[in-house]
Amino acid sequence: MSAYLIPAVFLVLIVIAGYLFLSHSIEKRRIQRQRLITAMRARRNSFRDLATGFPAGFLSNDLIALLYRVLIDSCEQLTRLEPGDHTHAEQLALYTNLLSSLKENAQQARVRLDNPQQIKEAHGLLQELYKFVMQQSALKQINQVQTDAYTDQINRMLLQMTVDGHIFNARQAQQVGKVKLAIHFYQLGRKALAAENASHTFDKQITQLDSVIAKLQEKLDSANDEKAAINEEAQTADKASNSDTNKEWKQFDEENAKWKKKQIYD
């Protein structure tokens, strides 16, 4: 009997071990699948917001086309991962049509953002797009020429939005009469441009900022000179007033001394 018991025990243990291993493998694949779905959804949502959530002309047609291709790829993967969710197929058709129609559209005039909240949001989304481009380049999904073209456009936009943010803050400071603070923000914008101006691409913008800064500095100096003149007049008036007061006190002391002297004689 024992001759059959031991093999049976081993068989049961093997079955249990196999079951546990299979269960673990299934759970691991389920977790990986869920992580992939979450990542695909996050990428789709972020790049959808960047492609459609800003004014027409904010992005170049090249970058919009890149975003549409990423969105199409994300929707294709989500369709396979979640076949029961029909919104993925609908969005896949939508972005495919948008990409086709984009090829027929001319590049719109470029626009710049002037809303701080939009600038902040777009800055973060463009950084995500930059990371994606670099990942695709490392995976050899796009060649070096494409990588350079995309990253150059993205870096220019990130720089311009940084400068636009400083200019917005400068104008806000001007509106409330804080000229010195406005100069500070304009100088930050100029510094950001100058740091990336090895090819003299931003000479015109730097010259414009220099002109604005010079005018504000002149206004600030004039205000400081006027304030200094007012302070000097006030100090002169105070000195004159103190001199008159001292004379009155001296006269009073002399008259008081005469009165005391007269009192002694009497």
pLDDT recorded at residue 55: 86
Q: Which residue do the tokens 């090819």 mark?
A: 199
| Mean pLDDT within 79-94 | 90
Q: Which of 64-78, 128-142, 235-249 shows the lowest per-residue confidence on average (mean pLDDT)?
A: 235-249
pLDDT recorded at residue 259: 47
pTM of model > 0.85: no
CA 6 to chain centre: 69
| Mean pLDDT within 254-266 | 51
pLDDT recorded at residue 105: 75
92 and 76 Cβ atoms separated by less than 8 Å = yes
- The whole-angstrom separation of Cα 85 and Cα 226 is 71
20-59 per-position pLDDT tens digit: 666 666 767 777 778 888 888 888 899 999 988 888 888 9
Angle CA 72–73–74, to nearest 5: 90
Q: Is 226 a residue whose pLDDT tops 90? A: no
145-201 per-position pLDDT tens digit: 999 999 999 999 999 999 999 999 999 999 998 999 999 999 999 999 999 998 888
100-131 per-position pLDDT tens digit: 888 777 777 788 887 888 888 999 999 999 99
Choose between 261 and 222: higher pLDDT.
Answer: 222
| pLDDT, mean over the chain | 82
Q: Is 19 a residue whose pLDDT tops 70? A: no
- The whole-angstrom separation of Cα 159 and Cα 190 is 11
- Place 265 in a pLDDT band, splitting at 50, 70 and 90: very low
Q: Is 258 a residue whose pLDDT tops 70? A: no
Amino acid at 9: V
- Where does the chain have alpha helices with state H? 2-52, 61-81, 87-102, 116-138, 144-175, 179-195, 203-265
pLDDT recorded at residue 85: 87
Q: Is the dihedral of CA 149, 140, 28, 41 positive or negative?
A: positive
For the residues of 84-100, what is the DSSP string, one character each? T-THHHHHHHHHHHHHH
